[in-house]
Amino acid sequence: MITGPLIIGASFAYVGLLFAIAYWADRRADLGRSIIAHPTVYALSLAVYCTAWTFYGSVGRATENGLGFLPIYLGPTLIALLWGSVMLKMIRVSKTERITSIADFIASRYGKSQKLAGLVTVIVVIGVVPYIALQLKAIAWSFTILKHYPALQMPDAATMPLWHDSAFVIALLLAAFTILFGTRQLDASERHEGLVAAIAFESIVKLIAFMAVGLFVTFGLLGLGGPELPQAVERAREAGLLDPLIKPGISPFQDWLAITFLAALAVMLLPRQFQVGVVEISDERHLRRAMWLFPLYLLVINLFVIPIAVAGLSMFPNGEVNGDTFMLTLPIAFEQPWLALLVFIGGLSAATGMVIVETIALSTMVSNDLVLPVLMRHWRNRRAPEDLGWLLLNIRRGAIIGILMLGYLYYRLAGEAYALVSIGLISFVAIAQLAPAVIGGLYWRGGTREGALAGLSAGFLVWTYTLLLPSFAKSGWLPAAFMESGPAGLDILAPMALFGLTGWHAVTHGLFWSLIANLGAFLLVSSFREPNATEATQARIYVDALRHRQPTSAPLWRGSADIAELMRLAERFLGVARTRTAFTDYAGSRDLPGLEALPADGQTVSFAETLLSGAIGGASARLMMASVTEEEALGLDEVLDILDEASQIRAYSHELEQKSLALEAASAELRAANLRLKELDRLKDDFMSSVTHELRTPLASIRAFSEILYDDPEIALDQRKRFLGILVSETERLSRLVNQVLDLAKIESGHADWRNEAVALQEVVEQAAQATEQLIQDRGIQLDLDLPEQPALVWGDRDRLVQVLMNLLSNAAKFAAAQAGRIDVSLCPSEHGWHVCVTDNGPGIPEDALELVFEKFRQTKIGGAKPAGTGLGLPISRQIIDHLGGRIWAENLPGKGANLCFELPAHRSETPD
């Protein structure tokens, strides 16, 4: 029913569909309506992580050690939480530096070193090509199994002629696809719209296929109308067939940890992941959705792994069917041809997606970082061809074919060997070697080119020794004895138990030692010297990627260049039209009228270098630029000065920000203070105006009467006497006023002299009463003093206290009743000290004026007439009492007149003065 031609036809149709999608997406992109500029498409393209190894292999791993397949998906899920920092940095750096690959990324970080880029490329190619072989093998396997439908037959060692080998045909098809959609333009930092669209589509196909089998099997397991499974499961359990699943020899904790960690690194550093995740992203905001959508995808595609494994183990109890094939063999066993075909297509999509993206990523690296450097060395002696762009594109196309053929060859040679079967995780460990250089480069400024070279080399060597060579030995390509002991029979150097470390899974063991060696060498060698100028510049761009959005390395170049030369160089790679457009746009971005106005300064050279980087990688671009410019070497000190300046400017601007905040606060305070000052100023003005008024009034009388007396000698004697009396009293009033104003000013400003001593209030009261005796008697007022025996000691200036009491007494005298006027003075102890009250029997003070009487020039009128006095007596009294730590107030006693009281703290005689 399912024949070879049908499968081949379906495969071709499927790949044809991929071509169509890619073609359509490229067309849309050309028209400016990008299909991949969407966060969901971005997240789906990241799912290229799930290869045929996931599609078929997860079930296989589950049959061997239960949940042991999970860490490979747990790692990416966990690391996705950190993408907001790590991935975002990688993306920002790659966009500004026009990074084309993971090799370019690392090389650019450590001073744009061609050597480093080459090393990374070698490691990645060696690590990843077998993985491509694994995909091809999966395609061939699934093809063979399906072709025998409805018979269940495991494929035997590949003996078919080349042209009948589906893997070979598929490899050729994929090469065509990759060349067509992956090398449309030289600028590898530009997006491959069609390719990404096809990858996203493949992610959907493999998910649907996996879910279809999963649902089919699960319904059967649950007895919901699917295949007849429950009894089989029961039997299988009794036979102990499910043991690996149910009682999985749960790999030790460190294996889980190691594989989780490994997968977390791989999902960012695998060339294909870097390609779709970093190079192809169109908008960094897409990352936000990918951070949850991609882990969700991983969760969903793993949902049915266990049910399928259970069903597989139950159906094929004798172990004649490989667990890796359950996905396909279960539908065949239940005679579901279309489901089996769907699974085949799903597996095909998982494999092709991986192969396409991995190949394009590797070909970029190989052409830019391996072939081009060799050619450049060659061109030193011989003239380079004029159109380098075309040459480079062809190199890249050749690399694509080369890599795919390499993968195919490895598959043919390795076949069923352990070296191929186990390559998944081993490949991950190779990729993990990039981690110290990448992660360290993003967060640590101290790394150097030699450090990165040493780390990568050490890690790669340990990886080869502990993982790659043993896998060859297990495949029978090396003597098995190789695994038993180290060179020269040194057991301590045994590749699978380095330094006596046994009991760990080979991958965990290899990962542990290779990363230790890698990290150790990286840190140690980096510590040999300070980063040089270029490294320091690049470190700033990488480490500070999230701080300033557009770091420029421009000011770090000094030398002479010629715009025409720069453009000629770019034209050789990018073509005349593209170069002119790019330079013109750049001139526009610098607000220059056109190309002619463009200065050949550091910024322009840096722009041209970045432009070229997109095509040939950072390291080669730097060398190319060096050939047409004359750069004066900038010493490290100078670079550090410039960087320092930049960071100082940053710090300064931060400081400015802080200062402006502080300034704002200060200015608010200032406004408030200003308001207070204005209020005080107004009060002072009022005071001055009042003082002036109070001075002018007696002066007016004095002047008027003086002039009257002067002008008119004829005035009657009694009238003359009266006028002279007025003159005397007004003069007295004037001098009193002047004294009081000065007094008040002195006290208020704190310049007054205080001759403080222990004073008995009795003496004060008596002295004041004596001084005002005349005034009081003149008014016919009776004065009563009620003073205690015991001396009422307070701490204060005797004269000023007498002044207070005189003010109170003369005040009371003014207000006491005209007939039978009385004034009572009482002195008694109070809670806080001594309490003095001067009470009159006058009309009292209106309630609302009780406080006002202590304001300057606020005289209460008696019966409408203006009282004699300056209006300063009570304000001065309040100042004095306040100064001595007491308080003074006015109150009305029911049925009596005004009551003016003050209170002063008692002075304890034993208190030292």
Partner 1 sequence: MSKRILIVDDEPNIVISLEFLMMREGHEVRVARDGEAGLAAVKAHRPDLVVLDVMMPKLDGFAVLEAVRADQSLAATRILMLTAKGREAEQQKGLALGADAYMPKPFSTRDLVEKVKELLESRD
Residue among 235, 378, 682, 693 that touches partner 1 (CB under 8 A): 693
| Cα separation, 676 vs 481, whole angstroms | 95
| Cα separation, 71 vs 482, whole angstroms | 30
Q: Which helix (H) or strand (E) holds 900?
A: strand 898-905
* Beta carbon of residue 719, minimum distance to partner 1 (angstroms, whole number): 8
Query: Could you tell me which stretch among 381-389, 465-473, 726-734, 846-854 binds partner 1 (CB under 8 A)?
Result: 726-734
The b/e string for 861-894 (b: 16+ C-beta within 10 A; e otherwise) is: eeeeeeeebbbbbbbbbbbbbebbebebebeeee
413 in contact with partner 1 (CB under 8 A): no
726 in contact with partner 1 (CB under 8 A): yes
The conformation of residue 630, written as its DSSP 8-state character, comes to E
439 in contact with partner 1 (CB under 8 A): no
Residue among 488, 490, 717, 865 that touches partner 1 (CB under 8 A): 865
In this structure, the strands spanning 559-560 and 898-905 are unpaired
| Cα separation, 189 vs 185, whole angstroms | 10
Our CB check for partner 1 shows the closer of 457 and 697 to be: 697
* Beta carbon of residue 702, minimum distance to partner 1 (angstroms, whole number): 7
Query: Could you tell me which stretch among 411-419, 431-439, 571-579, 704-712 binds partner 1 (CB under 8 A)?
Result: 704-712
Our CB check for partner 1 shows the closer of 501 and 702 to be: 702
Residue among 705, 795, 815, 902 that touches partner 1 (CB under 8 A): 705
| Cα separation, 903 vs 913, whole angstroms | 20
Our CB check for partner 1 shows the closer of 37 and 704 to be: 704
The conformation of residue 529, written as its DSSP 8-state character, comes to S
721 in contact with partner 1 (CB under 8 A): no
The conformation of residue 865, written as its DSSP 8-state character, comes to B
Give which of 121, 60, 166 is closest to 408, Cα–Cα. Answer: 166
Residue among 5, 500, 750, 864 that touches partner 1 (CB under 8 A): 864
- CB atoms < 10 A from the CB of 898, how many? 25
Mapped onto helix, strand or coil, the DSSP state of residue 437 is helix
Our CB check for partner 1 shows the closer of 523 and 715 to be: 715
684 in contact with partner 1 (CB under 8 A): no
Q: Does residue 563 contact residue 595 with C-beta atoms inside 8 Å?
A: yes
Query: Could you tell me which stretch among 36-44, 81-89, 90-98, 861-869 binds partner 1 (CB under 8 A)?
Result: 861-869
Is the Cα torsion angle 352, 354, 357, 360 positive or negative in sign?
negative
Q: Which helix (H) or strand (E) holds 696?
A: helix 636-711
Our CB check for partner 1 shows the closer of 480 and 862 to be: 862
Binding positions for partner 1, 476-495, rule CB under 8 A = none
Helix and strand totals (H; E) in the chain = 38, 9
Is the Cα torsion angle 576, 579, 582, 583 positive or negative in sign?
negative
Q: Does residue 387 contact residue 237 with C-beta atoms inside 8 Å?
A: no
* Beta carbon of residue 871, minimum distance to partner 1 (angstroms, whole number): 12
Give which of 375, 372, 389 is closest to 579, Cα–Cα. Answer: 389
Beta-carbon-side half-sphere exposure of residue 42 (alpha carbons within 13 Å): 22
| Cα separation, 715 vs 719, whole angstroms | 7
Our CB check for partner 1 shows the closer of 33 and 721 to be: 721
689 in contact with partner 1 (CB under 8 A): yes
671 in contact with partner 1 (CB under 8 A): no
- CB atoms < 10 A from the CB of 728, how many? 11
Query: Could you tell me which stretch among 316-324, 431-439, 771-779, 857-865 binds partner 1 (CB under 8 A)?
Result: 857-865
* Beta carbon of residue 841, minimum distance to partner 1 (angstroms, whole number): 23
* Beta carbon of residue 679, minimum distance to partner 1 (angstroms, whole number): 20
* Beta carbon of residue 843, minimum distance to partner 1 (angstroms, whole number): 15
- Contact string (CB under 8 A) for partner 1, positions 596-635, x = contact: ----------------------------------------
* Beta carbon of residue 855, minimum distance to partner 1 (angstroms, whole number): 16
| Cα separation, 504 vs 481, whole angstroms | 19
* Beta carbon of residue 728, minimum distance to partner 1 (angstroms, whole number): 11
Residue among 699, 728, 742, 828 that touches partner 1 (CB under 8 A): 699
Q: What angle do CA 69, 70, 73 make, to 5 degrees?
A: 115
Residue among 548, 703, 721, 746 that touches partner 1 (CB under 8 A): 703
Q: Does residue 770 contact residue 741 with C-beta atoms inside 8 Å?
A: no
78 in contact with partner 1 (CB under 8 A): no
Q: What is the largest CA-CA distance in the chain?
A: 157
Q: Does residue 345 contact residue 14 with C-beta atoms inside 8 Å?
A: yes
* Beta carbon of residue 674, minimum distance to partner 1 (angstroms, whole number): 24
Is the Cα torsion angle 903, 908, 909, 913 positive or negative in sign?
negative
* 3-state helix, strand and coil shares in percent for the chain, rounded to the nearest 5: 70, 5, 25
204 in contact with partner 1 (CB under 8 A): no
Our CB check for partner 1 shows the closer of 96 and 697 to be: 697
Residue among 584, 603, 606, 697 that touches partner 1 (CB under 8 A): 697
872 in contact with partner 1 (CB under 8 A): no
Binding positions for partner 1, 728-747, rule CB under 8 A = 729-730
- Contact string (CB under 8 A) for partner 1, positions 523-542, x = contact: --------------------
How many residues touch partner 1 under the rule CB under 8 A: the total is 25
Our CB check for partner 1 shows the closer of 500 and 864 to be: 864
* Beta carbon of residue 697, minimum distance to partner 1 (angstroms, whole number): 5
| Cα separation, 850 vs 845, whole angstroms | 6
Our CB check for partner 1 shows the closer of 82 and 708 to be: 708
Residue among 696, 746, 832, 887 that touches partner 1 (CB under 8 A): 696
| Cα separation, 37 vs 22, whole angstroms | 14
* Beta carbon of residue 715, minimum distance to partner 1 (angstroms, whole number): 9
* Beta carbon of residue 713, minimum distance to partner 1 (angstroms, whole number): 14
* Beta carbon of residue 723, minimum distance to partner 1 (angstroms, whole number): 8
Q: Does residue 909 contact residue 794 with C-beta atoms inside 8 Å?
A: no
* Beta carbon of residue 726, minimum distance to partner 1 (angstroms, whole number): 5
Query: Could you tell me which stretch among 320-328, 442-450, 565-573, 703-711 binds partner 1 (CB under 8 A)?
Result: 703-711
Give which of 295, 321, 317 is closest to 60, Cα–Cα. Answer: 321
701 in contact with partner 1 (CB under 8 A): yes
Q: Does residue 862 contact residue 814 with C-beta atoms inside 8 Å?
A: yes
Residue among 492, 663, 700, 745 that touches partner 1 (CB under 8 A): 700
Residue among 247, 866, 887, 908 that touches partner 1 (CB under 8 A): 866
870 in contact with partner 1 (CB under 8 A): no
* Beta carbon of residue 738, minimum distance to partner 1 (angstroms, whole number): 15
Give which of 574, 678, 665 is closest to 616, Cα–Cα. Answer: 574
Q: Does residue 80 contact residue 266 with C-beta atoms inside 8 Å?
A: no
DSSP letters along 811-863, please? HHHHHS-SSS-EEEEEEEE-SSEEEEEEEE-SS---GGGTTGGGSTT-PPPBT
713 in contact with partner 1 (CB under 8 A): no
Our CB check for partner 1 shows the closer of 689 and 735 to be: 689
Q: Which residues pair with 527 in a beta bridge?
A: none
Query: Could you tell me which stretch among 139-147, 246-254, 832-840, 859-867 binds partner 1 (CB under 8 A)?
Result: 859-867
Our CA dihedral for 6, 7, 12, 14, rounded to 10 degrees, sits at 110
Query: Could you tell me which stretch among 43-51, 448-456, 707-715, 877-885 binds partner 1 (CB under 8 A)?
Result: 707-715
Q: Which residues bind partner 1 (CB under 8 A)?
A: 689, 692-694, 696-705, 707-708, 711-712, 726, 729-730, 861, 864-866
